[in-house]
Amino acid sequence: MCGIVGLLLKKPALHGQLGELMVPMLIGMTERGPDSAGLAVFGAPLAEGQRKISVYSGLTAAGADYPWAALLAALNEALPVQATMQLKGNHAVLTVNGPAAPVQAWLKAHDPKLHLLSAGRGIELYKDIGTPAEVAARYGFGQLRGSHLVGHTRMATESAVTPDRAHPFTAGEDFCLVHNGSLSNPNGIRRMLEPRGIRFETDNDTEAACRFLEWRLREGDTLHAALQKGFEALDGFFTFLMGTPTELALIRDPFACKPAVVAETDDYVAIASEFRSLAHLPDIQHATVFEPAPEEMYVWKA
């Protein structure tokens, strides 16, 4: 059992309130996921030739005391990327000129214990072990700004409680996924994708779904087409919530075994596993509130 939350603010004037509105949503899912928590937030995209890379140092010996300044200096000496860095605890968000792949390769070679969380022009990702309230306070979630986000609280059932197995999962650039449920065929998905050069980092079933859907998007599918192929390929019980730079998407398996509720007003679209995580939102009493249907695609534009 896990908790999912999503929030999309329709008006740019509200983007500064994204984190403030989201934190009670995440904490409201504590009973569904006390082991770890995380979120991916999408903001104004960088210029075409720039990328953000979110990095986690909690698996290194130094942890929160990681020598980020030395890493930044070494990176700029090794590659002509003019990297800058923003720090939050044991997370760093690097901004670089040029593609992400050479920087990601350098980071892994420089320190294999660094965990690369996400890359893209708009996405920043934070996740860690701890209760949702602890993780939110640790990384200042209440101060986050942006147009939309995807969040998760985890109660581990099929793999260990570690930061890298926490959600959201990402694949490629500017794509993330959170999951409540369990897949029965993640190993089959893995065996299908690995010969295509797709590398897995954990044994978590959610990673299989994330990499499958990102693979379909990379192959040229629209988000709707990728999700339809997901219904055909992914077996099990699931509610998936996904984020891209321009969209928030929600699907449930054909039996809709895992709960979800949506509230929409002129100002926002909010999604959670239970209504209690939505009850604090402005004007919620006038929102259109509904339970998403099974095997239907819900996509909202940012």
Active-site positions?
2
**Pair of tokens at residue 173:** 């650039």
Whole-angstrom Cα distance, residue 275 to residue 287?
A: 12
Residue 48 DSSP code: T
Helices (H), the chain: 18-27, 68-78, 100-110, 132-138, 186-193, 205-218, 223-233
Residue 39, Cα to own-chain centre: how many angstroms? 5
Beta carbons within 8 Å of 197's beta carbon, 6+ residues apart: none
Q: 259-263: long-range contacts at Cβ-Cβ below 8 A with a sequence spacing of 24 or more?
A: 259/180, 259/291, 260/4, 260/180, 260/291, 260/292, 261/289, 261/290, 261/291, 261/292, 262/289, 262/290, 262/291, 262/292, 262/298, 263/287, 263/288, 263/289
Sheet of 50-56: strands edge to edge?
84-88, 91-97, 50-56, 115-120
Strand ranges for the chain from DSSP E: 3-9, 36-42, 50-56, 84-88, 91-97, 115-120, 123-129, 148-154, 169-170, 176-183, 236-243, 247-252, 261-264, 268-272, 288-290, 297-301
Q: Could you tell me which of 80, 177, 75 has the C-alpha nearest to residue 123?
A: 177
| Distance set, CA 290 to CA 71, 113, 277 (Å) | 48, 43, 14
